[in-house]
Structure 1
Amino acid sequence: MHTSTVPDSPAQRRVEEVLAEVTGSGVEAGVQVAAWYDGELVVDAWAGTADAVEGRPMGPDTLVPAWSTGKGVAAALVAVLVDQGALAYDAPVARYWPRFGTAGKERITLGQVLGHGAGLPRLPADTTPERLLDLPAMADWIAGQRPQWEPGTAFGYHAWTYGVLLAEILRRATGRSCDQLLREELAGPLGIGDELLFHVPEHLASRVATCDDGGWAARLERMPSGAPFFDCVPHGVLPVAELGNRADFRRTALPANGIMTARGAARLYAALACGGELEGVRLLSTATLKEATTGWVSGVDRVMGTTCTRGGGFVIGDSGPKPLRPAGGFGHSGSGGSTAFADPAHRFSFALVKNRMTVSGLDVRLADGIRTALGIASD
């Protein structure tokens, strides 16, 4: 167990105790946790192993595949670009990508893509990792598809296509790749250019944790064979440890996905929790931030079958039986248990990243423990 240089506090001690327990018992491999409160880093802890075979310890700078936690990072990046005027939520995607505007997709907006309402969650049933990672060809395939439902009338989780669509839209609208935009417009200004990534550049490859399975793959395989989820995430590209450890997957900048440190994710959400500004760095205006983090759609997700509220790429609040995000909170979680969110009512942010893919509920346990220690009411 290693501790950080944040001042000793009940919140820090509580997290250190939990991490020692879950990594010591073998339930988890390596874990990082960070939290900010009112503009200050208040929890910064890590424990366990980044790679059990190599015996490499988890450190504060270890980069951890955090899967769809990256969708919230992409949402924040788009919000920054909207604030700059480079993008508009109500703009038709075809404004940036003319070929997209066919087969009933003429009026699909950027906002509908972010809110999973475009009706384009499906991938070919025989999709392989190689095919998914050929992003120009995959974008071209999506551009030829007809929506599964009238865009804007319903929403369903665009698990992989969210990233393919955003990567193409961002490239065409700005002339820059999504990873370049992330570094230059979001992560770089916050001082976390090497801690918040859509892909792993070669010079950072040695810092990445190895994923392993702690029951996540079995959970996915237990889903009914005809579940809509498998139309959108075919078996060949399930978000499991084997895919997360592939070198080609890590090299591909796909903003449905993220590789990050807990420090980096918590710092981003701290800026969002504090109205778009942190330590003198303003990412975006409060007006654009409010627009992006207000519920745009709410109801039953056609793909996942669960009830949720979505904004501009963020999940708003939490309708689950054990809520993680408070009412008014926003963020995104990823396969295997990683998560990050902001709670603007309390100027609080939380991030958990880990390399063993489990269904343990560690996120709720830690977030609730920190909030209790800080005296923040859970509502």
Structure 2
Amino acid sequence: MSEVQERIQRQLDTLVGTGAESGVQVAVYRDGALIVDAVAGTADPATGRPLTSGTPIFSFSTGKNVAATLGHLLVARGLLGYDTPVTDLWPEFGAHGKDTATLRHVLTHTVGLPAMPREITPAELPDWPRVCAALAGAEPRWRPGTAMGYHSYTFGYLVGELARRATGRPVRELLREWITTPLGIEGQLCFAAPQELLPELARLEQQERQWPAAPDDAEAILAPWESRPSAGFGNDADILRSDIPSVAIATAHGLAAMFNALLRGELMDPVRLSGLAFEGVDRVFGTPARMALGFPLGRIGAPAEENSAAFGWPGGGGSYAYADPARGVAFALTKTRLVPDFGTALSVTAILADHLAGTR
């Protein structure tokens, strides 16, 4: 067992042993080699079923890493360009001045549709045609490309509908054909879990302590279900069986393997992945935003002087995945207990950062 594997495994064991976490997975690649594959805890507290590194976990917005990758693969395969107007494939999307929106705007969360139209609730999310029709008819909060605001659930449908219209196929099939089958990680990364996979999934649980109140502007833009993760949502069989590509079912190993393949150019040329594409203020949360095409830039918890080229989405409840081209690192952490912070991810990435600093 390597030193970094041992340190991270010890941290996970401590977190579970003290009751801070119920189940955690961590996977890390460096320069193409898997250097950490650590796991601790249970997949289902009710039965005591152990969590393994192969147990899929519903991991909320870490799924945006997968949808963003599919967006890049549409371009890499010549099906559309970053500046292709959305209306070239989806004419009805041009309503209310959205005709200037492009794939670039979709990937940078600058389309102007951060929230689902209010008639769309979690119950409607499995109805792909209904959700996409509502988005096509929606009025944007700003002219596409002029501002950025976190597109909580809308992002995945925008990417996914472009992919469906470009290929004639749903995103769950494209994910399997373009990513998981070539990388040998089927069952470790998916939208719309097949029925036979459902019994293997981990069960999410909700942290009982008080969650912080959402900012007033977030409440005004995002519905509560869009801004706050729910274990009930992530355990719901109808949700788990549906294409909702702003969220995903994943193992830490599956996410890290995808990012490792991106860094190594196995899926596409990685040159466009970490360049700055938009910088400003997130209109949903009022926080600074630096966006690459499809991903936020910078590792969470990294010191400002690092000026990291790392990119990747965290997920509500505490999961996190990122790639760091400067260090050749692909990292992912998935977990079963939803908490209102990223303390576990920060504790593990700090161990990894210390290891990397000592091996330069």
| Alignment TM-score > 0.5, same fold | yes
User: Among 166, 169, 174, which residue is 2:167 paired with?
Assistant: 174
Shift of 1:129: 1.5
Q: How many residues align?
A: 358
Is the Cα contact below 8 Å between 1:37 and 1:349 reproduced in 2?
A: yes
The answer to whether 1:247 aligns with 2:229 is no
Q: Within the alignment, does 1:47 sit opposite 2:40 as a pair?
A: yes
Q: TM-score, normalised on structure 1?
A: 0.89
- Match of residue 341 from structure 1: 322
Counterparts of 1:192 and 1:237, CA distance in 2:
30
Q: 2:170, 2:307 → 1: CA distance? A: 33
The Cα offsets for residues 173-200 of structure 1, whole Å up to 9 and x where unpaired, read as: 1111101001101121111121111221
1:301 aligned onto 2:282: yes
2:255 to 237, 240, 265: 265
Match of 2:313 in 1: 332
Q: Summarize the alignment of residues 12-31 of structure 1 with structure 2, pairs less than 5 Å apart.
A: 12-31=5-24
Task: Write the distance in 2 (CA, Å) between the matches of 1:168 and 1:65.
Answer: 22
Pair 1:223-2:214 in alignment: yes
Instruction: Report matched runs for 1:1-379 at 5 Å.
Output: 8-125=1-118, 127-215=120-208, 218-219=210-211, 222-224=213-215, 226-229=216-219, 231-235=221-225, 238-274=228-264, 276=265, 282-285=266-269, 289-318=270-299, 327-358=308-339, 359-375=341-357
Q: Aligned pair in 2 of structure 1 residues 248, 355: CA closer, same or farther (>3 Å)?
A: same
Taking the aligned partners of 1:360 and 1:314, their CA distance within structure 2 comes to 18
One-letter code aligned to 1:369: I
Mean CA deviation greater in 94-103 or 358-367: 358-367
1:142-175 residue CA offsets vs partner (Å, 9 max, x unmatched): 1111211111111000101111212211111111
- 1:96-124 superposed Cα distances (whole Å, 9 cap, x missing partner): 11111221011100110111000011223
Partner Cα distance (2:226, 2:68) in 1 = 26
**Aligned to 1:165, what secondary structure does the other structure show?**
helix
Change (3 A) 1:206 1:297: same
The normalised TM-score by structure 2 is 0.94
Moved more, 256-265 or 206-215: 206-215
Q: Which runs of 5+ in 2 are unaligned?
A: none
The aligned amino acid for 2:229 is P
CA distance in 2, matches of 1:169, 1:208: 29
The answer to which of 190-199 and 127-136 deviates more is: 127-136
328-337 vs 310-319, which moves further: 310-319
Q: How many angstroms apart in 2 are the aligned matches of 1:29 and 1:95?
A: 47
Q: Structure 1 residues 239 and 126, CA, compared in 2 at 3 Å: closer, same or farther?
A: farther
Q: Alpha-carbon deviation of 1:360? A: 4.7
- 1:36 deviates by 0.7
- Partner of 2:211, secondary structure, is helix
In 1: Cα distance, 2:205 partner to 2:141 partner: 34
> Structure 1 residue 374: deviation in Å?
3.7
Q: Distance in 2 between matches of 1:290 and 1:232?
A: 33
d(CA) in 1 for partners of 2:307 and 2:226? 35
Which 5+ residue runs of structure 1 have no aligned equivalent? Answer: 1-7, 277-281
Cα offset, 1:243, TM superposition: 0.8
Give the whole-Å Cα distance in 1 for the aligned partners of 2:318 and 2:42: 16
Q: Which amino acid aligns with 1:356?
A: R
